[in-house]
């Protein structure tokens, strides 16, 4: 028979709060801890933003060169294409024109018109994903009351203020 070892070391129990004063002190300590965590998070965000800015400053001149060179090579390649799909340069680089493996969907009509058209198909569920706007529904209690299958639940939550 194998003996199962505890995965975590048990934490010793702390005595329960005994008075309003004690609870108030711990509530204050809670709020101080929350404020400290927010301060640390804000400092972390500022440091990350500064670091991202440094890398953006390093990246910017290289992006400018990249975009300029690509545009110039593309202009030359388009002008000298002569029906080719590939141009091989003497230094081994290649410029290619390729057709995408999948077609890209172009939406030119209004969303309402497209949805109306798709709803007429027997397989409309394949193409449409219907979602409820829950925040709008909770703001209109009368609509919820009139709609079968919907109900409002006001849950209870706790906080320390």
Each domain of the chain, given as residue ranges in start order, spans 22-146
* pLDDT score for 53: 98
- Residue 111's closest CA among 132, 133, 127? 127
* pLDDT score for 10: 78
* pLDDT score for 9: 79
158 backbone dihedrals φ, ψ, rounded to 5°: -115, 150
Q: Are 151 and 144 in contact (CB under 8 A)?
A: yes
* pLDDT score for 157: 84
Query: Which parts of the chain register pLDDT below 70?
Result: 1-6
* pLDDT score for 2: 60
pLDDT digits (tens, 9 = 90+) for 73-108: 999 999 999 999 999 999 999 999 999 999 898 999
* pLDDT score for 4: 61
* pLDDT score for 70: 97
Residue 87: how many CB atoms within 10 A of its CB? Answer: 16
How far is residue 15's CA from residue 109's CA, in Å, rounded to a whole number?
67
- Residue 147's closest CA among 136, 158, 135, 137? 137
Which string of DSSP letters, residue by residue, matches 102-132? SPPP---S-HHHHHHHHHTSTTGGGT-----
Give SS3 for 25.
helix
DSSP letter (8 states) at residue 3: P
List, in order, residues 6 or more apart from 115 with CB less than 8 Å away.
128
């Amino acid at each position: 028979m194998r003996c199962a070892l505890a995965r975590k070391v048990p934490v010793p129990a702390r005595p329960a709060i005994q008075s309003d004063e004690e609870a108030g002190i711990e509530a204050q300590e809670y709020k101080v801890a929350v404020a400290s965590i927010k301060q640390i998070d804000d400092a972390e965000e500022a440091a990350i933003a500064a670091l991202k800015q440094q890398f953006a400053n390093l990246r910017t001149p290289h992006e400018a060169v990249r975009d300029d060179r690509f545009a110039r090579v593309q202009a030359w390649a388009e002008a000298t294409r002569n029906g080719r799909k590939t141009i091989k340069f003497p230094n081994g680089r290649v410029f290619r024109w390729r057709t995408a493996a999948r077609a890209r969907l172009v939406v030119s009509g209004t969303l309402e018109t497209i949805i109306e058209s798709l709803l007429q198909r027997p397989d409309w569920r394949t193409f449409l994903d219907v979602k409820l706007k829950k925040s709008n529904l909770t703001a209109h209690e009368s609509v919820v009351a009139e709609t079968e299958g919907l109900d409002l639940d006001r849950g209870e939550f706790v906080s320390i203020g």
